[in-house]
Each structure stands twice: as structure tokens, then as C-alpha cells.
Structure 1
Amino acid sequence: MRNETEPRRVKGTGVRFAYETLRDEILALQLQPGAVLDETSLAERFSMSRSPIREALIRLAGDDLVVTLSNRSTVVAPIDVQSFPKFVEALDVAQRMTTRLAAELRTDPDLKVIARRQREFIATVQRGEHLAMSEANKAFHMAIAHAGRNPYLAAFYERLLNQGRRLLHLHFAYLEQGGEGVLSTDGHDEMLAAIRDRDVARADALAHEHTRQFRDNFVRYLSQNHLKDVPLGTLGPAV
């Protein structure tokens, strides 16, 4: 019987609460790659049954944030540094194409949305909130993608942005810790200006430069061994 002093949850909110809490902890690396997510322990933590926990883990698996091993245990998805070059290659293509299309096809309402998303990103940078920064960064780029009027490309791009959010979190941390790069919002401003001017070639070049800066700064982060305490390898066979 439910304790009447406990807050009454609206049906379905338990799943959302567990999903959003675990998602944020994974993206912020509070739950590190490879960490085991036990349904029973999580159910106790969130004071709910295992059923909404299981559904939340299914949603996280759809986001590529958790994986189920052959022994049926669920763990936080590893960050596979070896696949980083291929990830950046795909990101570069998607980012350049969506930005080019936006410069060609954008409308005035699109520009207003992109500009608003940029202001929101700047606000998170000023507050230094890494999780909010990565979410606002994604929202900015997705506003550009939607302005390009290609839902298939936008969906592919969004998946890449989601997969890269933990890398972006480390990228932000590196820059704020005095890395060789600089945490700047100028790149977004320049992309917005190129899209506003319908300058397709410049939009393409800026999108490519944006990806290159992310790649180079992240490689510097790795070379300085800042990730020595973060397990990054691919999953081995389950035991």
C-alpha cells in the first residue's frame, strides 16, 4: 500500500524522471562509461518499481547512452576513442551539409529561431554550466538543420550530436581548465551571419572549421592525459 505522505506521481512521470536524471548524469560523466546500471538498485534509489526503470533504460539505449551486454546486464555506453576520427568525419559532413542548406533555404522566421538559440547558448556559456551548454549547442545546430528543410539529414545530424555530447562535455572542461583552445561563441555568430547573408560557401567553410576546432581541441585533451581516470575503451566480452 502506498504511503500517503509520499508525493503522488502522475502516470508516466516516473519513467521521465528516471530517464532524464540518468541521462543528465551520463552526459555529465557523473555516471562514468562502463558503470553498471542495476534495475533493483535504481528502483530503490528512485522509490519506484523496476518497470519504469526498465523503460527508462530502454529509452537511454535508444539514445546510445547505455548498452546491454550478452549477460543481460546494462552498463553506461563506453566512449570509444578509437572510433573518434570516423565520428568526426561523419559529423563534419552532416554539419557542413545542414549549414549549407540553411544558408540556401532559410526563411526570416528560421533566422529568428537560430538567433534565439544562439543567445541561449551564450547565456549558458556565461554561467559555465557544461550540461546546459551542450544542450544549448545542440539546439543551436538543430535550428540550423531544420532551416535546411531536409528531415532525413536533420535526424542523422541529431543522432551524431547526441552521441557527441559527452565528448563535448570534456571539450568544454578542457577549454575552461586553460587548454590551448578558447571557449568562444564567435563561431556560432559567424555561422548565423553567413546563413543570414545566404552565403553558402562561407557557411560551408565555417561549419567545417567548427568541426575542426572541436576535433583538434579534443585531441589535445587526450594527449595531455586528462582522461586517465575515465574508462574509454570498447566493450570486451561479457563474463
Structure 2
Amino acid sequence: MKAGSEPAESDRGEEAVRVRGSGARLVHAALRGEILALRLSPGSPLDETGLSERFGMSRTPIREALQRLVAEGLATALPNRSTVVTPIDFAGLPAYFEALSLMYRVTTRGAALRPVRDLAAVRASQAAFAAAVAAHDAMAMIEANREFHVAIAAIHGNEHFIALFSRLLDQGRRILRIYYSTFDDRLPRQYVEEHEAMIAALEAGDAERADALASAHARQIVRQIQDFMARDVTASIDLAEADGQKERLHGR
């Protein structure tokens, strides 16, 4: 295009697509972070008009961002064409935990069986995880933990396992965020040490050890989350109020 000339119609169209795409990425990243950090609570409405005003954008990039969140399972499109933050399916947690535990074991064991194992990405993720634990940065812990286990799955090499495990880890981010808050985001050093033990088993190519460590790692995380959920439910019961209701029922 010559200096001083107007851009061609096709150039303007391509530029509009690029701007819209970058806007959608910005909105998606912002909302995704808020959902995972529970600043947007499960079930919260994601109103296109309100979000358009908030981000100063047209509704097109907003709609594209919401579609990405729906594809990731973080948002749900309702029949009335509105969108909400996906509720956490507490009733479905047992099935979720079963699938998650299986993927911990399958991918870690499979990675140890590989004749050639490049652990650079695993070690880098572990270093980031250890730093996040030391800094008490829950969101960084969750992100680094995800990348650690996905890096192990990548060594295993089964693309279906990588995709499934990544999705399961993403689905569990909000549960982990709730769980980490019970420690005041001060995660025990035990988690870092368990990751280190897994790396050692991978280095040694010890599939049985890797499997046992992954299984124990998954079990203790699941058990502690289940214990927390049980405590949270029982702690919400007002026993004094329950006794009062019983006395009123019996006319005392």
C-alpha cells in the first residue's frame, strides 16, 4: 500500500479480525482468571451487555470469549441463551476423583516406561511449583501443579491421555483453590517432596515406583479434599438451632 493511500477493504477486514481476536483473548484471560480464583462464584451470570460495558468492547469479542469458556467447561450456556459460570458438581466428585486418580497413575507409570525421557519441562514446572509454595501463591501453585503433571503426560506421549488429563486438571482448579484456602495458602512441603520423588522414579525408569507414588499422591489429595468437604458441611449445621427446633416440635 502506497504512503498516504487508504487501506484496501480486505486489509481493513483483516485488521478488524485481529483486533476482535485480541479483544476476545483479553476478555477470556480476565474472566478465566476470575473464575478459577473464585472471584466469580459458581453460577454467577456472565451477561454480554454488562461485560461489553466493563471491557469497553462490542459484544462480538465478548461472545467469542464466552464461547471459549464454555468449551473449557468453565462456563455453561443455558437454553435461554444466557451464560453462567459453571457450577461445581459436588455430587459428581467421586467419579471425578476416580478419573483423576487413574490419569495420575497411567501417565506417570507410562512416562517411566519410556526408553528416552526428557525431563526438562517436568523439572521446570517443579521449580515453579516449589517457588509458588514458598511464596504462598495459590494460583501459581495450581498452574505449576497442572503443568507438572501435563509435562509427565507429554513424556508418556498418548495424545488422548494428555487431552483428558489436562481437562480433568482444569476442572479441578476451583476445588484445589478452595482446598488451598484451608491452609491459608500455605501448602505443606510434603507436596513438593512428593513431586521430587516422582521425578526420581522417572529418572530411574522405575515404573512400579512411579505408579505407587502417583497413586499415593492422588489418594492423599482426594482424601484431604473429601475430609475438608465433610468438615465444611457439618460445620454449617447450627446444633443449638436444631435443638430448639426439636423442643418446639415436642411442645417443650
Q: Give the TM-score range, shorter chain.
A: 0.7 to 0.9
1:14-25 equivalences under 5 Å are: 14-25=23-34
What runs of 5+ residues in structure 1 fail to find an aligned partner? Answer: 1-8, 230-239
Which runs of structure 1 show a deviation greater than 6 angstroms over 4 or more consecutive aligned residues?
A: 226-229
Q: Which residue of 1 aligns with 2:124?
A: 116
Whole-Å Cα distance in 1 between the matches of residues 234 and 22 of structure 2? Answer: 35
- CA spacing shift, 1:132–1:178, aligned 2, 3 Å: closer
Secondary structure, counterpart of 1:185 in structure 2: helix
- The offset of 1:107, in angstroms, is 3.0
Q: Which residue of 2 aligns with 1:212?
A: 219
Q: Which residue of 1 aligns with 2:161?
A: 153
Secondary structure, counterpart of 1:67 in structure 2: strand
Whole-Å Cα distance in 2 between the matches of residues 209 and 143 of structure 1? Answer: 19
Q: Which residue of 2 aligns with 1:27?
A: 36
Is the CA contact 2:75–2:85 (under 8 Å) kept in the aligned structure 1? yes
One-letter code aligned to 2:192: T
- 1:81 and 2:90 equivalent? yes
1:93-108 equivalences under 5 Å are: 93-105=102-114, 107-108=116-117
The percentage of counterpart residues that share the same residue type is: 42
Q: Which residue of 1 aligns with 2:100?
A: 91
Residues 66-125 of structure 1: per-residue CA shift (max 9 Å, x gap) = 0011222111000011100000000111110000111111635x2122111100111111
What runs of 5+ residues in structure 2 fail to find an aligned partner? Answer: 1-16, 237-252
Is the CA contact 1:106–1:148 (under 8 Å) kept in the aligned structure 2? no
Q: Which residue of 1 aligns with 2:53?
A: 44
Whole-Å Cα distance in 1 between the matches of residues 186 and 86 of structure 2? Answer: 28
Residues 126-167 of structure 1: per-residue CA shift (max 9 Å, x gap) = 111111111111000011000001111111111111111111
Secondary structure, counterpart of 1:134 in structure 2: helix
> Number of residue pairs matched?
220
One-letter code aligned to 1:13: S
Q: Hey, which of these two has a bigger chunk of helix by percent?
A: 2
- The offset of 1:176, in angstroms, is 3.2
Is the CA contact 1:106–1:195 (under 8 Å) kept in the aligned structure 2? no
One-letter code aligned to 2:47: D
Whole-Å Cα distance in 2 between the matches of residues 227 and 75 of structure 1? Answer: 28
- The offset of 1:225, in angstroms, is 1.4
1:175-194 equivalences under 5 Å are: 175-176=183-184, 184-194=191-201
Q: Which residue of 2 aligns with 1:135?
A: 143
Secondary structure, counterpart of 1:175 in structure 2: coil
One-letter code aligned to 1:169: R
- The offset of 1:54, in angstroms, is 0.4
- The offset of 1:175, in angstroms, is 2.7
Whole-Å Cα distance in 2 between the matches of residues 124 and 76 of structure 1? Answer: 27
Q: Which has the larger radius of gyration?
A: 2
Q: 2:179 aligns with which of 171, 175, 187?
A: 171
Is the CA contact 1:106–1:147 (under 8 Å) kept in the aligned structure 2? no
Whole-Å Cα distance in 1 between the matches of residues 203 and 77 of structure 2? Answer: 45
One-letter code aligned to 2:79: S
Is the CA contact 1:67–1:77 (under 8 Å) kept in the aligned structure 2? yes
Whole-Å Cα distance in 1 between the matches of residues 234 and 61 of structure 2? Answer: 33
**Higher relative contact order (Cα pairs below 8 Å, separated by 6+ residues):** 1
